[in-house]
Amino acid sequence: MVAVLDFGSQYTHLITRRIRGLGVKAEIFDHNVSRKTLEKSSIEGIILSGGPSSVYKKNSPQIKKDILELNIPILGICYGCQLLVYSLKGLVKSGKTREYGEEIITIKKNDTIFQGLNRKEQVWFSHGDTVKKLPSGFKVLATTKNAPIAAYANLDKNIYGVQFHPEVVHTPKGNKILKNFLFRICHAKKTWKIDDIKNDLIKNLKNEIGDRKVILGVSGGVDSTVAAQLLYRAIKDNLYCVFIDTGLLRKNETNEVSGFFEKLGFGNFRKISAEDKFLSALKGIVDPEQKRKIFAKVYFQVFIDVVKKLEKKHQFHFLAQGTIYPDRVESGKTSKTSSLIKTHHNLSVPKKLGLQIIEPLKDLYKDEVRELGRSMGISEQLLGRHPFPGPGLAIRILGEITKDKIKILQEADAIFIEELKNYGYYHKVWQAFAALLPIKAVGVMGDERTYDFIVTLRAVTSRDAMTADWANLPNELLKKISSRIVNQVKGVNRVVYDISQKPPATIEYE
């Protein structure tokens, strides 16, 4: 097993995900973990995560010095890379030039951790501090134009550091680097597979729930559907699924979701129409965080009403949610040293509901969730659906929400998705959607001046939603989509395409 020490990085769980994807068991420990705890866990290697702090600042997270004496291979990533240097009496300072996003490293010697890589490789950086001087016994393995020490090693002690993030998809050879560390340096054993996850989750759910009843809000998306199927495997008809039509869904989505769950054979499925309640509560609201909080409040009020009605015949003990790790990592502090990015509606559970929370997918990423779904026989048509946010179009309509804007966005989004499918690009991108900007622009249609809305199109490539790059769609496809939207969607006279990466942008707009 490999121990991943968490120093507050948004990517800590992603490191673990990559290791498990290579077949090796991995577990996250707090950065302050004791040597004794690690020794009890049969650790084959240690990885120090990145983090938002500066190693030389007061109260920044540190590592216990005796862990560095365990004689177990260690890899430091970003903050972890700097921390190893700092802890071993090297020098780390604030960099004159910060590096964020894609960079090219020059590998000085491609043995050990860089074995099999080219002399120059693309990697993903996200740092402001830099290593200025290595401790005694260390040597430089790679550089960039702004970082003379982008990677290093002490071969005698099996200690390695990389200033970039090999765990993210935008370091193309990152998995190769991690594989070299796991199998060439740590000599780790392959003991991890998706069936183990499935069987363990079902077993744990059976033990935790017993013969009590669970209620689950479903959206028809991948996460809630896989969570529902997993729970159904564990407790059968003691699971009750509730689908709330918020009025903020994609075109025809209500009928599609109902059809999905009928085909899956769920007997206890309830569809609730609540469009007026959501639109009334969101009227005049423009702040993104306020939208999310209002949505959460209304959603759970509607949900509570459903529970109360059902509890006239059934007693519930648990509320299940399809929350996955990226929801948690961006919605709240997953450790004492991590940072908040946004509020997620699944995490605002009112205490008056009086139910215990179950989140069977909370430590998994989207690609793992899909893999888990396949292992349970869920169709590719459902598993291949693009992610859709809980608040739906409420956060894809920037500014005030109205019925007219919802209609405009539903139509524009439907055209975008239809053409992506027609051109064979829907399954080539991670996520694609249209959003409506809160501004209007002048146009000319039929020799008349118009003053209408701007639709922005977003399509990204990713593996897990922690990082994303804009999808380079063919010009002819974008032209076709733009032409159809402007000509067929009343109220739109301009279409733009978003070419921002995550980070610094997020995938969604709000």
Q: Give the rounded distance of the alpha carbon of 250 from its chain centre.
A: 21
pLDDT at 367: 83
Type of residue at 195:
D
pTM of the shown model: 0.71
44, 121, 167, 411: which is the annotated catalytic residue?
167
Query: Dihedral angle at the C-alpha atoms of 136, 140, 141, 145, nearest 10 degrees?
Result: 160
pLDDT at 344: 46
pLDDT at 266: 84
31, 78, 419, 508: which is the annotated catalytic residue?
78
Task: Give ranges for CATH 3.40.50.880 in the chain.
Answer: 2-185
pLDDT at 327: 73
Q: Give the integer Cα–Cα distance in Å for 467 and 167.
A: 10
Q: What is the largest CA-CA distance in the chain?
A: 78
pLDDT at 260: 83
Q: Which residues pair with 431 in a beta bridge?
A: 460
**Cis status of the peptide bond prior to 503, with omega within 30 of 0:** yes
pLDDT at 129: 86
> Closest Cα partner for 82 from 95, 96, 100?
95
Q: Is 419 a catalytic residue?
A: no
31, 165, 170, 344: which is the annotated catalytic residue?
165
360 contacts 227 by C-beta, under 8 angstroms: yes
Residue 232 Cα distances to 116, 264, 267, 344, 453, angstroms: 45, 10, 10, 25, 44
pLDDT at 345: 45
HEC assignment per residue over 268-305: CEEEEECHHHHHHHHCCCCCHHHHHHHHHHHHHHHHHH
pLDDT at 111: 77
Task: Give ranges for CATH 3.40.50.620 in the chain.
Answer: 194-383
Q: What angle do CA 391, 395, 398 make, to 5 degrees?
A: 155
Q: Architecture of domain 2-185 in CATH?
A: 3-Layer(aba) Sandwich (3.40)
pLDDT at 335: 52
Other C-beta atoms lying within 10 Å of the C-beta of residue 331: 19
Q: Which CATH number fits domain 396-497: 3.40.50.880, 3.40.50.2000, 3.30.300.10, 3.40.640.10?
A: 3.30.300.10
Other C-beta atoms lying within 10 Å of the C-beta of residue 200: 10
Per-residue pLDDT of the chain (510 residues; tens, 9 = 90+): 999 999 998 889 889 989 999 999 998 999 999 999 999 888 999 999 999 899 999 899 999 999 999 999 999 999 999 999 999 999 998 866 666 778 999 999 877 899 999 999 999 987 678 899 999 999 999 999 888 999 999 999 999 999 999 999 889 999 999 999 999 999 999 988 888 889 999 999 999 999 999 999 998 889 999 999 999 999 999 999 999 999 999 999 998 888 888 887 888 999 999 999 999 999 999 999 999 999 999 998 998 899 899 988 999 999 999 988 767 655 544 455 554 444 544 444 556 678 899 999 988 888 889 999 999 989 888 898 898 888 999 999 999 999 999 999 999 999 999 999 999 999 999 999 999 999 999 998 877 888 999 999 999 998 777 789 999 999 999 999 999 999 999 999 999 999 999 988 999 998
Taking the alpha carbons at both ends of the chain, their separation in whole angstroms is 38
Q: Give the integer Cα–Cα distance in Å for 37 and 43.
A: 10
Q: Is 165 a catalytic residue?
A: yes
Helix (H) or strand (E) holding 415: helix 403-422
Top CATH class, 194-383: alpha beta
If DSSP codes are grouped into helix, strand and coil, which group holds residue 98? strand
